[in-house]
Amino acid sequence: MSNVRAIRNEEDYQAAMARLGEIFQAGNGAPEATERDILFGLVEDYENRRHPIEYPSVAGAIEFYIEQGRFTRRDLIPIIGGRAKVSELLSGKRDITMSMARALHKHLGIPAHILLREPGASFPDAPPDLEFTRFPLKSMAKRGWIPDVQDLKDSAEELIVGLMERAGGREFAAAPLYRKNDSRRVNAKTDDYALRAWCWQVLAQARDRRPPAKGQAGGLDSQLLRQVAKFSVLENGPAQAGEFLAQRGVGLEYVSHLPKTHLDGAALRLPDGRPVIGLTLRYDRIDNFWFTLLHELAHVVLHLGDSSDEVGFVDDLSLRGVESSGSDAKEQEADRLAQDSLIPPEIWDDGAILENPGPMPVLEMAWEAQVHPAIIAGRVRHESGNYRLLSQFVGTGAVRRQAEAHRLGFGKGG
């Protein structure tokens, strides 16, 4: 046993082979037998590192099975998805997809390690509640969230898993990103697959961006919202707010909503616990932007602390105040904190602005509250239910222009 040592080079390898020749016939139980078994393992490991197994191409492997009479080209047509695809796959013009590999393994018995070209490989388990082809692949590819490849549906598993990995890893992303109960502030017509994809893109962008600070949601308090609200008066307020939050460990991402998501924003958490706010700018108005931002920030402060088991909130704020929306106590808490941070209650209550909702009272209250006049106008419109009032103040189309002018990353998600 004293002669056993790691095999690091060709000289070590030759010495080990010579020693194996001397003790190869050692009987079981002899000291040399143990030495022989250890040397076998070391030699095999060195040979695999020096001469790794070269797998044939998938096309070559399939042709081999055909030559052996295991199956015919005709047998491949229903499995691969058509005569043209079979021809392209066998000619090397088309790469095999995970769905093709799974089908060939299931129906023709080709081993996974040959199809995946990796020793000991097996097919990863697909999340039981996901059907990859149900994601809005074309819309996602158009926005650049996934590669725009030939036959998106054939490559759906690889593409969606790739986005999941970018969002924080397959296991993390497969877990619910938001509460699944009747009290979600989500439109009943929402496509859950589109909503998942949007959440993953928000998280993926946040991970790609890597803000300079890594804070914890538990270290934030409600005063933060009031500080953020005051950025609304600045021409580059959204950019300033994003930098301010990043320095406190909160990510802010702009990602356009997908069809059938009916979404304004979300408060989510990355695998490391760092909170991320995602905004869609679905209603591109200054008043809507600041209320949505502060509503999601309220969720971060109140509900996504270190001790919380909440992993995220998604919000269709057009359902705010609608009794049938079923918004629960946490949504109402976030509404109140956002509202009071934008316009302190003592200012709103003393202003009697609902009785006289004219331009001058709006400007006076905005100056006193140190916020943009659109915020005052937006609340008047919401509480009165009259959305024709004060439309000159709400800043339609202004936020997206600011986002693009200050390079806030909206184009990547949009």
Which tens digit of pLDDT belongs to each residue from 65-122? 888 788 888 888 888 888 888 888 888 888 888 888 888 888 888 888 888 777 777 7
What pLDDT digit, counting tens, does each position of 350-362 carry? 778 888 888 999 9
Q: What residues have CB less than 8 Å from 113, skipping those under 6 apart?
A: 55, 119, 120, 121, 122
Closest Cα to residue 28, out of 19, 20, 18, 36?
36
Q: Which amino acid is at 29?
A: G
What integer pLDDT is reported at residue 219 of this predicted model?
63
What residue ranges do the domains of the chain occupy?
Answer: 10-50, 58-115, 132-170, 176-337+400-413, 345-395
pLDDT over threshold 80, residue 181: no
For residue 51, pLDDT over 80 is answered with: no
Tens digits of residue pLDDT in 299-338: 999 988 755 667 789 998 887 766 444 457 889 999 999 9
C-alpha distance from residue 204 to each of 162, 237, 289, 407 (Å): 10, 24, 22, 18
Closest CA to 279 of 309, 251, 249: 251
Q: Say if residue 278's pLDDT is above 70.
A: yes
What does pLDDT average to over the chain? 83
Residue position matching structure tokens 């006049």: 373
